[in-house]
Structure 1
Amino acid sequence: MTRAPIPHRRGGGFSVVELMVSVVIGLLALMFATRLVVSSEQNKQAALGGSDSMQNGMLALFSISSDAGQAGWGLNDPLVAGCDTVFNDVQGYALAPAARGAAVVRPLAAAVIESNGAAPDRLTLYSGSSMSGTGVLRVTRDYAGEADIVVERVPYGFALGDVILAAPLTAGAARCALAQVALDPRLQAGPPAAQALNIATGTAFRFNAAGGLGVNYTNGQAALFNLGPAATLSFHTWSIRSGFLQLRAADLAGAASTASTVVDNVVSLKAQYGFDTRVGAAFTPTSGLQVGRWSATMIDADADGVVGGAGDYQHVAALRLAVVARSKNPDKANASGVCTSSTVAPTVFASAEPAGVTPAPILLNVAVSGDAVDWRCYRYRVFETIVPIRNAGWRPI
């Protein structure tokens, strides 16, 4: 008996060739999807980095320019502006140093710039808060370190805890000095011999030191100014450290001796003085100041032969400010391991403002000390503004 042959049937499923084609197509799809996701993430990171730097830079510039707009209040008298000043603070705030010829002084002025070339500057802005602004008392006796400063009249407008500023009646004849009223002046009211302001030491009077003002005045050749309550004395120093904008402030608890961080990822702060270069009879500050020259350092603006003299600070008409903020996260390097997000360091103050005034551009160093990531891996935004020193023109005649 012969058995009929069984017909050959093809097995179910995919052939090896079909499987290989499917795998290749899947890998290609996965590769394109991965590239799409990576590209999307990079674009997202760049957008977020730009948003971070925009927000941080604007906040930093707004904070500093707001300070600059008030700078000089109560310090705009020619006897005071630029005066080398003795200052003591038990909480540790110190006045900014500045060059005056070959000497180093600590001047009271609207602004003091400690210029650092391509590196971040340190900017100090001073102002008082007394509503009297330029109220003055004359000292009527020799002063040689006593706790009581005898004055010409009942010290109306001066209150317990107010910060007073002593200045020589002849500019440059002696140093200025700051102290704090330690006894309610109403308790010392009486005959002229008893009219005085007391600056004794005490735990509540942080600006008072043993030995009084630290400056002697003879023949009553001194005047006293009221800068307002100690709690609102706006002595602020702005600086950059390790990519953070920092502030030392006499009126901010805990920030007098050690700077407090204000904004992160701010890598540079630059400032320039705008000098009114008119001299002699042509210099009429009460009729308005005008910028004739920008400089990061002091110049002999009043042509008295001394660079950084008190008169030079009185010729400062405006401040030119710039801050540079960077993205929070660095971009990735290219296939060669080189970052190209920023190939050229930022330059500030390159435009001629006001019109006709020659700019003094500065090429910045935005590398952060201690940061292992190359500065070229970050994206940067530059913010600039010009702030008039309005209180410089509102000075007594």
Structure 2
Amino acid sequence: MNQSLLTHKRKGGFSLIELMVVIAIVLVMSLAIFGVMSTSEGKKRSLTSVNDINQSGNFALFQLEKALRNAGSGFSQSYAQSFGCKLFASQKQAVPGNTGVVLPFPGAAMAEPFKTVNATVGGIYMLAPMIIASGATKPGMSGSTSDALIVMAGSAGYGEVPTAFTNVATSTQLNLQSTLSFNPNDFVLVADEAGSAGSLPCMIEQVDSGYTAGSNATALPLAGTYYASSIKDKGGAIRNLIDFSNNALAMGIGNSAGNPPSFQMFGVGDNNVLFQYDLLQGGAYDTPIPIADGVFEMHALYGVDTNNDGLVDTWIDPSTAGYDYATLESGTVAANNTLLTIKAIRLGLIMRTSLPEKAPVTTGPLVLFSDLGTTLTFTRTLAAAEQNYRYRIIESTIPLRNSLLLN
């Protein structure tokens, strides 16, 4: 009897206490596994975000470096006539109600993040290889100002040799010593030697698509999207093609069929996006194009050759008097001479991950140009909420090769 009862008890299963112990152990193990998985997933997201901003930063730097290395191509060798000239350009049907004028910029306000840049120069852009617009954009996420870049370059590939006029232009053609270096649909920059600094205008024109080069041809016919016999700016001033003297020069700066000139602005806007803006409005009118994300701020310095030996002797903050972009865009003799001394750009990008983390991971401060001394070092202090993101700093020194050739 006793043996039967004992057997019956053993067949009865686990007790309640035993079950509760097992459940508790399983819960503890589940919590531990989920904790490990959560930590692992968080580290994976952080690593992915950091990799993303590293790649995005390298791509942004590549795009900027490509533009800056070509700055001044097509017109730097004729700097005496071209630097600081007031740009006039028209594109048929580009601006409804403004007869197609694109330069000077005809709108009341340019699209962000370039509204401040445009307002400072009054929509009037002077020809220059590159200019840093210090503190000209204010990205929404950063809440602090970033620099913008104005970069101009041609892409004709003919050694930047200008062609002199033999006679004044007509309303539909240029009369040149030779037209062999031009092709159908080429962009042509026309600049005059007559006039005073700050008042010299230049026009961007286009070669007729039906033009055929000849060994003795001197007449270059004009037609196409960017052709205009006269252009009116916002102030009512009119620039006519026939107003150029017989001392004017014509410079090929690219072709509309896949090799146009690059008259661009670069700046950081909202959502940590680096934008590119076409001053010639080759795409949709007044529309900045995003080229890289994760760019929190952008800052730059001028590398200046003070003794004309082709070497950078000093670095200068672009907010310094005489180097501010309003002065460099004024077209004066002093401004043009300053442009000639700028041989390189020191560029710094602050990259930031897109998602915040639960705890502060970057206490800062973030420092750019730390090797150039305290007066040129840029320091970005991070607010408490900003410390929950991860940051990367990317710097590069970029030579302006066309400016280096002017020594």
C-alpha deviation, 1:318, in angstroms = 0.6
C-alpha deviation, 1:158, in angstroms = 1.7
C-alpha deviation, 1:385, in angstroms = 0.4
Alignment partners' CA distance in 2, 1:140 and 1:252: 32
Q: Which residue pairs with 1:207 in the alignment?
A: 226
Counterpart residue identity of residue 389, structure 1: L
Change (3 A) 1:269 1:80: same
What's the TM-score once normalised by structure 2's chain length? Answer: 0.74
Whose helix fraction is larger, Structure 1's or Structure 2's?
A: 2
Specify every segment of 5 or more residues in structure 1 that has no aligned partner in the other structure, as ranges: 334-338, 368-372
C-alpha deviation, 1:98, in angstroms = 6.9
C-alpha deviation, 1:295, in angstroms = 1.8
| Aligned with 1:238 (options 252, 262, 266) | 266
C-alpha deviation, 1:362, in angstroms = 2.7
Q: Is the 8 A contact 1:160 1:181 kept in 2?
A: yes
3-state SS of the aligned residue for 2:90?
Answer: coil
C-alpha deviation, 1:8, in angstroms = 5.4
3-state SS of the aligned residue for 1:317?
Answer: strand
Q: Which residue pairs with 1:109 in the alignment?
A: 128
Specify every segment of 5 or more residues in structure 2 that has no aligned partner in the other structure, as ranges: 96-101, 106-115, 137-143, 232-237
Q: Which residue pairs with 2:113 in the alignment?
A: none
Alignment partners' CA distance in 1, 2:121 and 2:263: 26
Q: Which residue pairs with 2:49 in the alignment?
A: 49
RMSD between superposed Cα atoms in Å: 3.9
C-alpha deviation, 1:321, in angstroms = 1.5
Q: Which residue pairs with 2:172 in the alignment?
A: 147
C-alpha deviation, 1:159, in angstroms = 2.1
Q: Which residue pairs with 2:405 in the alignment?
A: 394
Q: Is the 8 A contact 1:275 1:316 kept in 2?
A: yes
Judge which range, 358-367 or 44-53, deviates more. 358-367
Q: Which residue pairs with 1:23 in the alignment?
A: 23
Matches within 5 A, 1:275-314: 275-276=304-305, 278=306, 282=307, 284=308, 287-297=309-319, 299-300=321-322, 309-314=335-340
Judge which range, 226-235 or 67-76, deviates more. 226-235
Task: Give yes or no for the alignment of 1:196 onto 2:216.
Answer: no
Counterpart residue identity of residue 86, structure 2: D
Counterpart residue identity of residue 134, structure 1: E
Matches within 5 A, 1:371-386: 374-386=385-397
Alignment partners' CA distance in 2, 1:160 and 1:252: 21
Q: Is the 8 A contact 1:82 1:313 kept in 2?
A: no
Deviations for 1:31-68, whole angstroms, at most 9, x for unmatched residues? Answer: 22222111111111111111111111111111211221
Alignment partners' CA distance in 2, 1:30 and 1:275: 64
Task: Give yes or no for the alignment of 1:351 onto 2:351.
Answer: no
3-state SS of the aligned residue for 1:246?
Answer: strand
| Aligned with 2:87 (options 85, 88, 94) | 85
Task: Give yes or no for the alignment of 1:37 onto 2:37.
Answer: yes
Q: Is the 8 A contact 1:291 1:317 kept in 2?
A: no
Alignment partners' CA distance in 2, 1:313 and 1:37: 57
Counterpart residue identity of residue 390, structure 1: R
Q: Which residue pairs with 2:189 in the alignment?
A: 165
Q: Which residue pairs with 2:302 in the alignment?
A: 273
Number of equivalent positions = 360
Q: Which residue pairs with 1:336 in the alignment?
A: none
C-alpha deviation, 1:128, in angstroms = 1.2
Change (3 A) 1:5 1:262: closer
Alignment partners' CA distance in 2, 1:208 and 1:298: 38
Q: Percent identity?
A: 22
Change (3 A) 1:51 1:177: same
Change (3 A) 1:363 1:109: same
Higher Rg: 1
